[in-house]
Structure 1
């Protein structure tokens, strides 16, 4: 007979510690009153005023700044297509071909069924555990609003259910979890701890994130005029960085 724990994991896909096991440490939130850098295109030195950095899971965390591990949880990394070809049933397809986020050349993952969401969460969960082992304090799951680019195949409800599993994986590893984009949806309902908002100034969405997360919002802008507007309205309370879209180490950098 299966134990209650096994049944719970089977039904929900959740990460549950057995009775008597030590729980993961409480996640640490990003510090406030400091700046953020977004370094997905390669790691570089951090100015003294930058106390938060986001880096790809293949990079090392900073030795002095609060480090957020970037993990593609809803889409694939372009360079990892060989891996996903071995798990092609977990890739969203239309007419037999993978559905692509054209802006980044990434395949969308198929989160339409509970079984696929659980299987994907197990794969992504292993990467998250690696982030924790490397010394990161948090994880950013890209990209919660991927369903809006799915040709109508995915829904917001499916994304929310999958997000809940991913947040559980982060917390089980002792990491804080960042909601990436999807303004207007309160991710705290599924346990997200803070938000990372791309171009919220451009789309006039920053206040929406603030209403859900207060000062726990990290903002990335890619156009200088949007950056200036965001700084004017939110720079006194939120860390805002201007970056080039390639996010290269020596590319565009500016702070409020």
Structure 2
């Protein structure tokens, strides 16, 4: 717009060895332990999507997503929005030049719809460097009191298939979710229904899905995340479809495309 192993050595009595082996098999990884410690959004609760500008949440709202530059809404479950796969418009200079994706001619690649330079996640080294910067933003979200992070543009690879891959995107987002868990935050999968089934690899805890009603994709998310899915629709027809199919299970809101603040002329907000 960032394994927990139990090491066994020596030969002990068979009963002790059996108990140790069982404990090892049952011990969770540090990533899963971190995810378990992170608070997830309440299920089927009132939701508002405020990434275009913060305002007082309407009555009945329990979950709010806001840009990382905004303060969380007091007393609610707050999700911290991060543009994690692309640079904000005009923010190319905030990144090392080699971390911006470039085409065969050496020109920076842009997401034309939003005018955002794409980040280069093609190598492990670059993914780690980008994740270190975004990790600082995640730390800021935790310091402000957010309960979760929403790394946006996970699906950038689908728009530039000649340059980026799903495997690269998953490897990178796994770094972000692990760091979020270290900070006690849950991590959301943003869109990208085709990768919802990879949540064990990516460490993502719940989903934030744009227009899954309009595109008949809500089931792709619920098959992986159960009812831990927050839905944003941008048309009345999309809202009707989402509410008809999922209104008894999921948190659903209809917003204007610019997700405008409540005092803006283009502001739209409806629910089931």
TM bucket normalised to smaller: 0.7 to 0.9
- Is structure 2 residue 182 aligned with structure 1 residue 172? yes
Structure-to-structure mapping, 1:1-256, within 5 angstroms: 26-84=37-95, 87-94=96-103, 95-150=105-160, 152-185=162-195, 186-189=197-200, 190-250=202-262, 251-256=267-272
SS class of match (1:98): coil
| Stretch deviating more after TM superposition (227-236 or 93-102) | 93-102
Distance, in Å, in 2 between the alignment partners of 1:238 and 1:126 is 31
Contact 2:90 2:116 in 1 (8 A): no
> Please, what is the CA RMSD of the aligned residues?
1.7
Distance, in Å, in 1 between the alignment partners of 2:117 and 2:46 is 32
Distance, in Å, in 1 between the alignment partners of 2:87 and 2:41 is 26
SS class of match (1:31): coil
CA apart distance, 1:187:
4.0
Distance, in Å, in 2 between the alignment partners of 1:31 and 1:228 is 22
SS class of match (1:131): helix
Distance, in Å, in 1 between the alignment partners of 2:36 and 2:43 is 21
Per-residue CA shift, 1:71-105, capped at 9, x if unaligned? 11111111423312xx1100101122221112221
Distance, in Å, in 2 between the alignment partners of 1:102 and 1:245 is 16
CA apart distance, 1:142:
0.6
| Stretch deviating more after TM superposition (95-104 or 166-175) | 95-104
Contact 1:25 1:174 in 2 (8 A): no
Please report the TM-score for the alignment, with normalisation by the length of structure 2.
0.82
Contact 2:63 2:76 in 1 (8 A): yes
Gaps of 5+ in 2: 1-29
Contact 1:100 1:107 in 2 (8 A): yes
Gaps of 5+ in 1: 1-16, 18-22
Distance, in Å, in 2 between the alignment partners of 1:252 and 1:142 is 22
| Greater Rg by CA | 2
Show structure 1 runs of 4+ deviating over 3 A.
none
Q: 1:30 to 1:68 in 2, by over 3 A?
A: same
Distance, in Å, in 2 between the alignment partners of 1:62 and 1:187 is 31
| Stretch deviating more after TM superposition (135-144 or 70-79) | 70-79
CA apart distance, 1:135:
0.4
Per-residue CA shift, 1:140-196, capped at 9, x if unaligned? 001111111125100001111111111111111110000001103224212111000
